[in-house]
Amino acid sequence: MREWVNQAIARIEADFQRSSDTHLIQVELPALPNVDFYLKDESTHPSGSLKHRLARSLFLYGLCNGFITEGTPIIESSSGSTAVSEAYFAKLLGLRFIAVMPRATSKEKIEQIRFYQGECHLVDNGDIYGEARRLAKEMDGHYIDQFTNAERVTDWRGNNNIADSIFAQMSSERFPEPEWIVVSAGTGGTSATLGRYLRYRKHRTQLCVADPENSVFFDYYKTGDESITIRQGSNVEGIGRPRVEPSFIATVIDHMIKVPDEASFATIHFLQRLLNRQCGGSTGTNVYAAFQLMAQMHHRGQSASVVSLLCDGGERYQHTYYNDNWLSQNGYDLTAYTNRLDAFYHSGEFPVVL
Ligand SMILES: Cc1ncc(COP(=O)(O)O)c(C=O)c1O
């Protein structure tokens, strides 16, 4: 048994060894000559999103705890991207993988999970967590449980984590210590790693978390009420949760911004014109919040940098955010936010009233 675990860990380490770091892209915004903006491009991981880091850590944690051994079926509750990355690692280790997901998950993500030989167990509007737990018990499998474990599986003190990588890549820039790092939260694992690292390394950098419309994280951050729940799931895939997840650590966050879904979608279309590439919806949420902070800094005459994340690419959302019919059928009109973003691009100011 130990021999199989040793080999499994070696296989994951070798996968890591074959990968290079993700790029930190500088985004040109001529109207803000003294506020530099960077996007860490997490879409270039082998399984296509920032969740590659989390999936690697979750598998290593499961293996080193003795939860995963030869032949253990792996079960997860996921809104999509995590399951794609976990299916990738399960395939690497020759393990069966089953993702319990909302039925509304994009067709492209389901296809990608299946591409890595993962199985999809779609739930109508029920409890994906309970169903994943039930399946794991029934199959004598391991519920890998990102929503509990995301905050603890990553070595937040460094060891090549996302925070370590950002600071190393910023070291030759004119403002190497960012004023803000802006991310969004699904599990909250990324924000927990960044927030702890910023404190541990005594950086001045502040952490801002952007939250989409249908999510309780913002209200929980403001009120401290852990019991808040909502019925409707988030329309920005991968981020925003209907309950306060155990892996969401509010105390490491310096500021939160609520971002309307139309603003997130308008921002990815704006980014397509700016970067000549497509990003996923959560990148729009991050960037819209980052632009607001940058406009304030510009207004105050500050000279500084801001870093945010490009979480995944747009290829997973061709039938949704990049489809005009889908946008109008779901009642989204991006015009007002597109005008706002254009005004920001040309003036560096963010119009206050929409
Ligand atoms: C596309 C995308 N962006 C952002 C996130 C948020 O990351 P985290 O789970 O670390 O909070 C997720 C998580 O599922 C995601 O899938």
The pLDDT of 324-349, averaged and rounded, is 97
pLDDT of residue 352: 65
Residue by residue, DSSP assigns 8-33 as HHHHHHHHHHH--PPPEEEEP-TT-T
Is it the case that residue 322 has pLDDT exceeding 90?
Answer: yes
Atom of ligand 1 nearest to the CA of 78: 14
Cα(48)–Cα(44) distance, integer angstroms: 6
- What are the tens digits of pLDDT across the range 32-42? 999 999 999 99
Write out pLDDT tens, residues 149-159: 999 999 999 88
Q: How far is the CA of 91 from the centre of ligand 1 (A)?
A: 21
Span from the CA of 300 to the centroid of ligand 1 (angstroms): 32
Among 76-85, 101-110, 274-283, the range scoring the smallest mean pLDDT is: 101-110
**pLDDT for res 204:** 98
Q: Using the mean position of ligand 1's atoms as its centre, give its distance from the Cα of residue 113 in Å.
A: 16
- Name the DSSP class of 177: S
The CA distance from 204 to 197, in Å, is 11
pTM: 0.96
By residue count, the chain amounts to: 354
Question: 63-91 burial, b for 16+ CB within 10 Å, e for fewer?
Answer: beeebbeeebbbbbbbbbbbbbbbbbbbb
Q: What is the pLDDT of residue 158?
A: 86
Phi, psi of 279 (to 5 degrees): -125, 165
- Give the whole-angstrom CA distance, residue 135 versus residue 250: 30
Exposed, middle or buried, 182 (CB in 10 Å: 0-12/13-18/19+)?
A: buried
Q: How does the average pLDDT of the chain come out, rounded?
A: 95
Question: What is the rounded distance in angstroms from the CA atom of residue 104 to the CA atom of residue 79?
Answer: 9
Per-residue confidence (pLDDT) for residue 78, from 0 to 100 = 86
Query: Is any ligand 1 atom within 6 A of the Cβ of residue 311?
Result: yes
User: Please, what CATH class does the domain formed by 14-48+156-347 belong to?
Assistant: alpha beta
Q: What pLDDT score does 105 carry?
A: 79
Average pLDDT over residues 300-324: 96
52-151 folds as Rossmann fold (3.40.50)
Does the beta carbon of 212 lie inside 6 Å of ligand 1? no
Residue 354 confidence (pLDDT) = 42
Q: Return the structure tokens found at 70.
A: 């030869």
- Contact 43/311 with Cβ under 8 angstroms? yes
Question: How far apart are the CA of 50 and the centre of ligand 1, in A?
Answer: 7
pLDDT in tens, 185-218: 999 999 999 999 999 999 999 999 999 999 999 9
Residue nearest to atom 2 of ligand 1 (CA): 238
pLDDT for 210 equals 98
pLDDT band at 102 (very low <50, low <70, confident <90, very high): confident
Nearest partner of 162 among 191, 188, 187, 184, judged by Cα? 191
**CA 321 and chain centroid, separation:** 17
Domains 14-48+156-347 and 52-151 equal at CATH topology level: yes
> Which pLDDT belongs to residue 353?
47
Strands in 119-123's sheet, in edge-to-edge order, are 119-123, 97-102, 74-77, 142-143
Q: Are 205 and 253 in contact (CB under 8 A)?
A: no
Instruction: State pLDDT tens for residues 253-292.
Output: 999 999 999 999 999 999 999 999 999 999 999 999 999 9
72 lines ligand 1 (CB under 6 A): no
Find the 182 Cα to ligand 1 centroid distance in Å.
13
The answer, yes or no, to whether any atom of ligand 1 lies below 6 A from the CB of 189, is: yes
Q: How far apart are CA 250 and CA 252, in angstroms?
A: 6
Whether the Cβ atoms of residue 100 and residue 79 lie closer than 8 Å to each other: no
Runs of H (alpha helix) within 160-204: 162-169, 189-200
What contacts 291, CB < 8 A, 6 or more positions away? 267, 341, 344, 350
Query: If you take atom 12 of ligand 1, which residue's CA is the nearest one?
Result: 238
Say if strands 35-41 and 24-27 run parallel, antiparallel, or are unpaired: antiparallel
DSSP 64-97: HTTS--TT--EEEE-SSHHHHHHHHHHHHHT--E
Q: Where are the domains of the chain?
A: 14-48+156-347, 52-151
At 160 the pLDDT is 81
